[in-house]
Structure 1
Amino acid sequence: MGEAARSPVSDALWRRPNLLLLLLVTPPLLWLGIVYLGSLFALLAQSFFSIDEFSGLINYEFTLKTYGELLRASNLDILLRTVAMASAVTIAAAIVAFPIAYYAARYARGKWKAVFYLGVMLPLWSSYLVKVYSWKLILAKEGILNWMFETLHLAWVLEAYLAIPVIGGNSLSVSWTGTFLVFLYVWLPFMILPVQASLERVPPSMLEASGDLGARPAKTLRHVILPLALPGIIAGSIFTFSLTMGDYIIPQIVGTSARMIGQAVYQFQGTAGNIPLAAAFAVVPILVMGIYLTLAKRAGAFDAL
């Protein structure tokens, strides 16, 4: 009886493939539209409200006053600091990831390629908090990194570096350098994998042709390999830049007391109760990434994707 009831339904879906496709894509589209886009629009709406200075309650009237507060010196400093950190992490990740990805794409074969994927993916399988707290111990004054400098009689080099304003501090674990190193370690796999996948699509014949035409390795790298690897670098930079901008755990555990956007959002919507300002801060990474993706598309970075 059950099979008899299912038969007309199966026949109807078989005769109308568009109906079957609609039934399959409706649940994820509803999830995307209601949960994801709905929450973004709710966030955007909250940013156009303001806090009453006397009562501390939200004033549900359309205003741009909250966005004006982002231009205050203290808030603008948070925005600039976050964008600078995200840019530095992204550039460093691309520099570190490229030779690793190039070796894996051009030379690693068989079990060595499996070892490569295992080495890149293994940090992603461990707890995020465990990795951050492990780095805090490594970078602390009593940590292994400080011990290594002392063992090599290079403690004076580390002390001189920590004495540099802005990037230094009492120890690496309470400095912007420490925050940068932890960000770089945590997000590096998100840069390596797209670059490696992009480099694997570069035909060896193009490199051979470049050499046959008299190009030296440096020129081949600059004019052949890098342009073809650009889509992977762009894809990896989207991950590293956006994840760094929105993260609040790493700068909360490792680094100075100066805040980044993620910390500002967490504190304003939590302890301060200023949800409109928290929403305005949260909109900034969305706008920055939108501008970045637009410029990358106009530059033709996505043509080879």
Structure 2
Amino acid sequence: MPSPVRRLAGALHRRPGLRLAALLCAPMAWLTLAYLGSLTVLLLSAFWTTNDFTSNIEYVWNTANFTQLVSDPLYRAVALRTLAIAVGVTVLDAVLALPMAFYLARVARSATRRLLLVAVTTPLWAGYLVKVYAWWVLLSHGGVLDWLGGTPGFGVPAVVVTLAYLWLPYMLLPLYAALAQLPASYLEASADLGARPWATLRTVVLPIVKPALLAGSVFTFSLSLGDYLTVQIVGGTTQMIGNVIADNVTLNLPLAAAVSCVPVLLVVGYLLAVRRTGALESL
């Protein structure tokens, strides 16, 4: 009679999918444990406090950090500003990526398409700080934009534009993949029925690419919420949630942990809202 180990080995040999799942089980379990474990520690540390005199962490259960976040108008202003910047970056990327993706997928010739795709993906290989400092040069007084007639300077608009440039490929590539699979007969049928280009875009193209648009927005929204280096370089005196967390990590770790819960909750809430639309299941 074969042993349980031999029966399991035989089942894995007969079913490659089961074998692949078994191979991925251990790393997935480790990633889940590490991710959920770190979030648990983060949440627990947010309920500790820091001694005002010694700056040592006191492991006393309390909600003072969350009370401070809710009651202090400074933290509310930073949270709302961060949310507004993340939404602005997402909307700007969507507006820019949709016509670019449509041209790549439906208009450009094969050779041109390949060159443009290389141009779109090449910045992903460049260093993050290199790209941000390039925008610092563009936006600074005496920089390229100043030579061309004027620069908006540093602040919230500079942060939105820079982050939109950084995350644009994450919005563009899903839209390109969705538009490349769009049947040409749909566009032809819409034109035969007398629909104008804007009507075709609104009634035919957008409903089909909506899952890809929402998937791309998850990346742009979440990445913008957690960013703090861009605002330090091109934001002037502007602060985002990431800056508040970085400033308090060494001085008041429990407060930094409490502030870190804000972007986590915002991202989770956004993911749940996207999931309710059914867009993720349609990808």
> What TM-score results when the alignment is normalised by the length of structure 2?
0.90
Larger mean Cα displacement after TM superposition, 223-232 or 49-58: 49-58
After superposition, residues 213-228 of structure 1 pair within 5 angstroms as: 213-228=193-208
Q: For 1:78-121, what per-residue CA distance to the aligned partner results, in whole angstroms no more than 9, with x for missing partners?
A: 11110011111110010011100011111233222211210111
Q: For 1:254-290, what per-residue CA distance to the aligned partner results, in whole angstroms no more than 9, with x for missing partners?
A: 11223111111111103x2x11111111111111111
Question: Is the contact between residue 156 and residue 238 of structure 2 (CA under 8 Å) also seen in structure 1?
Answer: no
Alignment correspondent of 1:60: 59
Alignment correspondent of 1:124: 124
* Equivalent residue letter for 1:83: L
Question: Is the contact between residue 245 and residue 257 of structure 2 (CA under 8 Å) also seen in structure 1?
Answer: yes
Question: 1 CA distance for matches of 2:107 and 2:238?
Answer: 44
* Equivalent residue letter for 2:11: R
Question: 2 CA distance for matches of 1:225 and 1:22?
Answer: 36
How many angstroms does 1:228 deviate by?
0.9
Q: 1:189 aligns with which of 160, 163, 169?
A: 169
How many angstroms does 1:44 deviate by?
1.6
SS in 2 for 1:16: helix
Question: 1 CA distance for matches of 2:63 and 2:56?
Answer: 17
- Aligned alpha-carbon RMSD (Å): 2.2
Alignment correspondent of 2:262: 284
Question: Is the contact between residue 13 and residue 20 of structure 1 (CA under 8 Å) also seen in structure 2?
Answer: no
Question: 2 CA distance for matches of 1:91 and 1:107?
Answer: 24
How many angstroms does 1:32 deviate by?
0.8
Alignment correspondent of 1:169: none
Q: 2:192 aligns with which of 212, 225, 250?
A: 212
Question: 1 CA distance for matches of 2:133 and 2:274?
Answer: 35
SS in 2 for 1:70: helix
Question: 1 CA distance for matches of 2:88 and 2:205?
Answer: 23
Question: 2 CA distance for matches of 1:143 and 1:220?
Answer: 42
Question: 2 CA distance for matches of 1:117 and 1:251?
Answer: 28
Flag the 1:296–1:22 CA change in 2: closer, same or farther, 3 A.
closer
After superposition, residues 1-305 of structure 1 pair within 5 angstroms as: 14-17=9-12, 20-21=19-20, 23-71=22-70, 72-149=72-149, 155=150, 172=153, 174-270=154-250, 272=251, 274-305=252-283
How many angstroms does 1:20 deviate by?
4.0
SS in 2 for 1:86: helix
Question: Is the contact between residue 265 and residue 279 of structure 1 (CA under 8 Å) also seen in structure 2?
Answer: yes
Question: Is the contact between residue 50 and residue 63 of structure 1 (CA under 8 Å) also seen in structure 2?
Answer: yes
Question: 1 CA distance for matches of 2:139 and 2:20?
Answer: 53
Question: Is the contact between residue 42 and residue 257 of structure 2 (CA under 8 Å) also seen in structure 1?
Answer: yes
How many angstroms does 1:205 deviate by?
1.1
Question: 1 CA distance for matches of 2:22 and 2:281?
Answer: 32
How many angstroms does 1:230 deviate by?
0.9
Question: 2 CA distance for matches of 1:26 and 1:191?
Answer: 30
Question: 2 CA distance for matches of 1:111 and 1:12?
Answer: 53
How many angstroms does 1:237 deviate by?
0.7
How many angstroms does 1:130 deviate by?
1.1
Question: 1 CA distance for matches of 2:282 and 2:181?
Answer: 10
Question: Is the contact between residue 47 and residue 277 of structure 1 (CA under 8 Å) also seen in structure 2?
Answer: yes
How many angstroms does 1:11 deviate by?
7.0
Q: For 1:134-159, what per-residue CA distance to the aligned partner results, in whole angstroms no more than 9, with x for missing partners?
A: 1111111110110011xxxxx5xx5x
How many angstroms does 1:64 deviate by?
2.2
* Equivalent residue letter for 1:297: R
Question: 1 CA distance for matches of 2:106 and 2:19?
Answer: 43
How many angstroms does 1:225 deviate by?
0.4
Q: For 1:19-43, what per-residue CA distance to the aligned partner results, in whole angstroms no more than 9, with x for missing partners?
A: 8456412331232123222212211
